[in-house]
Amino acid sequence: MANRTDPAAKSIHGTNPQNLVEKILRSKIYQNTYWKEQCFGLTAETLVDKAMELDHLGGTYGGNRKPTPFMCLVMKMLQIQPEKDIVVEFIKNEDYKYVRVLGAFYMRLTGSVTDVYQYLEPLYNDYRKLRRKLPDGKFCLTHVDELIDELLTRDYSCDVALPRVQKRWTLEASGILEPRRSALEEDFEEEEEKEEDEQAMDAYEADTHEKDYYHGRSPTRERDRDRKRDSYRYHRDRDYDRDYGRGRERDRDRDRERDRDRDRERDRDRDRDRHRARDEKDYGRERERERDRDGRERERRDRDRGRRRSRSRSRSRDRRERDREDGDYRKRRARGSVSPRRRPEEDGGAREEPRRKKEKKEKKSDGTDHPDPEIAEANRLRASLGLAPLKL
């Protein structure tokens, strides 16, 4: 009758399309007033009108889990199963964002993996705000791209278990999809070039006898750079999206990320050097002596740099100094194995006390080392959920 799926509809993911929504939620939707009054006898065209009237999205809310109109319309789409063209039209339309989101949700539920990625990824560029109803009945603010990210990365959204899609890199590896090109790729490349210029300046100022080694490292650095670029693309894009409009924050974030990049590159270089040193033990012994001497100098310089950093007024000047020192550091550490730069122990006195206190507090607050194994396990579970340990 009213709740039966259209008999001409195909099965989705091997089952009746309405079964994509769980039994309890389905029953709740069928008993809902909005469903009974407004969603009776809807066709694809009239559904669009109803979708244009939407003003929030969400799953179920309240003590007895009432479904939202968004949920009812999703159910209606599953019931009548509109053509793929119609769904793509929903997604492509720019005027009504809730219609777009409705189409995207339906596509995520019913589409094949390639379709899902193909049609939902352009929506990453849509930054409009959305109103979302939380399970406790209140509204919260979200954005279209946040929602698309949730649809593509999580497997549960709006109280509906989303069908499994493979990760993007699996599809890229099998050649079905191309690697993702972000809309902000030009900005990213601009900044890469700026970084390159700065590092080229350092290389120019380097000692001449170190220059051969430095040149020798540039192909690997390119490899690092590519690797770094790919791995960073997702994270940075999202940060960029949000900070793009705000000038000063963007610079600050970009600087912070650049420093982080450089730290990470340095770590990678360090690992590589450590492996190489294992082959050159004799050479390394002489280097050790030199390294110790350097180490002490370096620690002193670190400390000075730390102090200077907090006091210096112009951050660009500080960064250039740091770059130069990083360049030296990299060159000096080139052949020998590298010990991690540890904070100087001269400040040890003041630092040991807080360290001891922290250890004591860790023993107290965690509770996972309780003698009774049941309680220890319960505490471990609570810690993983973010709850305080049991009070005995």
Residues that bind another protein (CB under 8 A): 24-25, 60, 63-65, 135-136, 156, 159, 374-375, 378, 381-382, 385, 387-388, 390-392
In the complex, what is the shortest distance from the CB of residue 234 to another protein, in angstroms, rounded to a whole number?
A: 26
Contact between 68 and 60 (Cβ < 8 Å): yes
- DSSP structural state of residue 333: T
CA gap 275, 333 in Å, rounded = 13
C-beta closer to another protein: residue 184 or 383? 383
CA gap 7, 16 in Å, rounded = 10
In the complex, what is the shortest distance from the CB of residue 107 to another protein, in angstroms, rounded to a whole number?
A: 23
C-beta closer to another protein: residue 156 or 244? 156
Q: Radius of gyration of the chain from Cα atoms?
A: 29
CA gap 294, 60 in Å, rounded = 63
C-beta closer to another protein: residue 25 or 51? 25
Give the SS3 label for residue 181.
coil
In the complex, what is the shortest distance from the CB of residue 59 to another protein, in angstroms, rounded to a whole number?
A: 8
C-beta closer to another protein: residue 83 or 374? 374
> Max CA-CA distance within the chain?
87
C-beta closer to another protein: residue 28 or 319? 28
CA dihedral (201, 204, 210, 211) in degrees, to 10, reads 110
In the complex, what is the shortest distance from the CB of residue 154 to another protein, in angstroms, rounded to a whole number?
A: 12
C-beta closer to another protein: residue 48 or 71? 71
Report in angstroms the alpha-carbon separations of 55 from 172, 229, 308. Answer: 36, 39, 53
In the complex, what is the shortest distance from the CB of residue 226 to another protein, in angstroms, rounded to a whole number?
A: 40
In the complex, what is the shortest distance from the CB of residue 58 to another protein, in angstroms, rounded to a whole number?
A: 12
C-beta closer to another protein: residue 185 or 372? 372
In the complex, what is the shortest distance from the CB of residue 373 to another protein, in angstroms, rounded to a whole number?
A: 13
CA gap 291, 335 in Å, rounded = 11
In the complex, what is the shortest distance from the CB of residue 105 to another protein, in angstroms, rounded to a whole number?
A: 18
Kind of pairing between the strands at 156-157 and 57-58:
unpaired
User: Phi and psi of 131, rounded to 5°?
Assistant: -105, 130
Task: Single out the residue of 62, 212, 54, 233 nearest to residue 130, CA to CA.
Answer: 54
C-beta closer to another protein: residue 65 or 194? 65
CA gap 375, 392 in Å, rounded = 9
In the complex, what is the shortest distance from the CB of residue 71 to another protein, in angstroms, rounded to a whole number?
A: 13
Inter-axis angle of helices 97-110 and 113-120, nearest 10: 160
C-beta closer to another protein: residue 37 or 374? 374
Burial class of 130 by CB neighbour count within 10 A (0 to 12, 13 to 18, 19+): buried
Contact between 353 and 361 (Cβ < 8 Å): no
Provide the H-helix boundaries in 244-347.
247-279, 281-311, 315-332
In the complex, what is the shortest distance from the CB of residue 339 to another protein, in angstroms, rounded to a whole number?
A: 42
C-beta closer to another protein: residue 1 or 392? 392
CA gap 84, 61 in Å, rounded = 30
